Structure 1
Amino acid sequence: MKTVKILTLSALFSIFAIACSSDDNGNGTGDEANLESRLYASNNSDGNVTRYDVNDDSSFDSNTLLTLSLNSEGIYYDATTDQVTQASRSLLQLNTYADASITENGATITVSASSSADLISPRDIAVSSNIYVVADNSDADGNPVTADGRLFVYTKTGNNFNLRNIVTVNFKVWGIEFVGNDLFAVVDTTSDIAVFTNFASSNTTNATVEASKRITVEGITRTHGIAFDGGTMVLTDIGDADSDTDGGFHVITNFQSKFDAVANGGTLAVADQTRVSGALTLLGNPVAAEYDAENQIVYIAERANGGGRVVSYTNFEAGGNIGPMMNATLSGASSLYLAKE
């Protein structure tokens, strides 16, 4: 999880049902002075950035920012430079765009930096300082029988990306998240997560490495999304990839202590988690997550149900079959980033 804060506004999100430009006053304008937070989203359908601007007076704007990409997965927003970065699955590169918070709906956002076309099948981005890590789930060794994936490590200086090194791992990757200096990674096609301690400083050359630790998360069929904030980890469960109704998410409070208590190769008991799933959730293939610890809101990019949605949940502490507070249609929703302004 990144630096976040957003208002818990039931009235706001109950009417937040579309991903085109709108607000609850119907005037399509946002009051910058009252702006509380922004949620950025990528998608697989057209590759554009969707920016949801949320104001503290319960109004909001939803803006589509046109990009170079036709298919994007992974997104990061840098508030200090007002730049948003995506991993393009059509161009196979990182692209950074300027003026992300002020570009108007329907406008083409200005490119400020692009990496070389190094990527093959990018799925997520994790950022720590000037280190940009891209999880790529393409077959690394050319043998489909063996499980493997890659972590492309870039450094960003000003408007320049440099591919520093590529870390090959012995599992398929999807979602990734920095927690301090440690990089947590979803082990795709399983219910496992892995951690690489001191990732950026310990892995500076091209190499094949094993995770520092890998555990199974009981109760999950196949995890994809991962988010962390305020000591709580959120993991999504896509269940059967061919089903658009069997998804869910797990909330793990006091995550670090629970993770540390499980031995390498062991299992984190479902009793130490909270699971949300069921027909009311509208979750089938929840592929990405964000978490706001201060206001206890889980945000999900749902890829399959209804063709794609951005949804959020509160009052999930007891788990179970609960409906979303926010339900915004976004075709091919793939990634989220929640940023405090």
Structure 2
Amino acid sequence: MKKLFLPLALVAVLFTSCNDDDSSMVTPEPEPIDQTPTPAQELKLITTSNTSGQISFTDLLATTPTAKSFSISSTDADGVYYDVFKDQIVLASRTNNRVEAYNGLRNAIISSATTLDLSFSSSTDFTNAREIAVSGDKVVVAQDQNAGNSNISKFYVYQRNTSGFTLLNTYTVDIKLWGIHLDGTTMYAIADNTSDLVVYNNFFSNATGAISASKRVTIEGLVRTHGITYSPQDNVMVLSDVGLASSATDGGLVVINNFTSVLNMTNNLGTIAMNNQIRVYGPNSMLGNPVDVAYDHVTNAIFVAERLNGGGQVLKFAFPTMSADAIPQMSRTEAGVTAVYLHRR
């Protein structure tokens, strides 16, 4: 997951989530060292890793975009969000099993720092986190089932304030979770180990406990879903397919234009056919295990976190107009990359 990308999970860091937090909640930060005003236009890509203990930041509007890496408190992180108004990174720590916030990214860039200090975190509530999604002051963590959590897939809903995260609700679901994306109060989730996309309407209205999907559909030709991002600005859904987890060459991307119309025309437990998809698959794509995607509705670029091919790469694709074995416009090595988040304003 994952936008203000808008959600390749890729680069964009490369899923969607909303950036409409009330600025009155901002914790005052020290003035940037050079006190340069925040640019009126921004396009930033942020990524996480499950091996390096670092996040990366790239200013995509720079003359020569260059990734800058910062060490954090978690070796293994998955799911990331950037709040430009608070200058705050929010991520799910798989190392510490908590949500973590890191303030002061802008100052760290200006001062050429190499570390971001932890500002605050949630309590330790979940295990095996796979993604986060953000809407307003709500942060949702997807817990993927495994032996360590009694094979229970669950959403954890937190409220974020100026100094911490408060657990509001937990929702148990009957699917194996991975990628998630919030569009307002609608939660889109993939059902891992399947070809399915699941929708939960009025997500935050649920009481703690087991919840049921509003709709579940199968994506024809997709082997195993992972990454997901949705752009309401142009009604585009992007999904990633990791195929066989052990293969570094069988991954792909699925783009669905006019998504809400296609979804509404598809019956519950029905199938979105290939003729409603644009597909990027093949050896030229360098897609093996694309675990997250991000999308920019202005340039229509797709950013991908490719976890397996080359040990981890961030890829950028032009928006496909037809199904093909497309060559990435950009690729860079990033060990263990797990999530991409794109912020545009």
| TM superposition score normalised by structure 1 | 0.86
Amino acid of the structure 1 residue aligned with 2:138: I
Counterpart in the other structure of 1:37: 43
Q: Are 2:307 and 1:303 equivalent residues in the alignment?
A: yes
Match of 1:219 among 218, 221, 233: 221
Segments of 4+ moved more than 6 angstroms: 140-143
Amino acid of the structure 2 residue aligned with 1:334: T
Q: Are 2:90 and 1:85 equivalent residues in the alignment?
A: yes
Higher RCO structure (Cα 8 Å, ≥6 apart): 2
Counterpart in the other structure of 1:70: 75
Measure the CA separation in 2 of the matches of 1:140 and 1:227.
28
Counterpart in the other structure of 2:28: none
Is the 2:98–2:126 Cα contact (8 Å) retained in structure 1? yes
Which blocks of at least 5 consecutive residues in structure 2 are unaligned?
Answer: 7-35
Give the Å deviation of 1:326.
1.4
Counterpart in the other structure of 2:212: 210
Please list the CA deviations of residues 129-162 of structure 1 after superposition, one character each: whole Å capped at 9, or x if unmatched. 1110001102489766xxx511111111222101
The percent identity for this pair of structures is: 36
Measure the CA separation in 2 of the matches of 1:262 and 1:143.
34
Give the Å deviation of 1:323.
0.8
Counterpart in the other structure of 1:128: 135
SS in 2 for 1:164: strand
RMSD: 2.1
Measure the CA separation in 1 of the matches of 2:161 and 2:37.
33
Amino acid of the structure 2 residue aligned with 1:78: D
CA gap of 1:33–1:291, structure 2 versus 1, over 3 A, is closer
Amino acid of the structure 2 residue aligned with 1:160: G
Is the 2:253–2:279 Cα contact (8 Å) retained in structure 1? yes
Q: Are 2:52 and 1:51 equivalent residues in the alignment?
A: no
CA gap of 1:34–1:324, structure 2 versus 1, over 3 A, is farther
Match of 1:293 among 294, 297, 300: 297
Match of 2:241 among 231, 237, 244: 237
Is the 2:128–2:146 Cα contact (8 Å) retained in structure 1? no
Measure the CA separation in 1 of the matches of 2:265 and 2:226.
23
CA gap of 1:33–1:195, structure 2 versus 1, over 3 A, is closer
Which blocks of at least 5 consecutive residues in structure 1 are unaligned?
Answer: 6-29
Amino acid of the structure 1 residue aligned with 2:95: S
CA gap of 1:208–1:32, structure 2 versus 1, over 3 A, is closer
Measure the CA separation in 2 of the matches of 1:337 and 1:132.
14
SS in 2 for 1:102: helix
CA gap of 1:40–1:74, structure 2 versus 1, over 3 A, is same
Q: Are 2:188 and 1:187 equivalent residues in the alignment?
A: no
Is the 2:135–2:183 Cα contact (8 Å) retained in structure 1? no
Amino acid of the structure 1 residue aligned with 2:257: T
Is the 2:229–2:237 Cα contact (8 Å) retained in structure 1? yes
Match of 1:284 among 279, 283, 288: 288
* Count, aligned residues: 311
Give the Å deviation of 1:36.
3.9
Please list the CA deviations of residues 212-270 of structure 1 after superposition, one character each: whole Å capped at 9, or x if unmatched. 11010111000000011121000000000110110000000110110111111110111
Counterpart in the other structure of 1:24: none
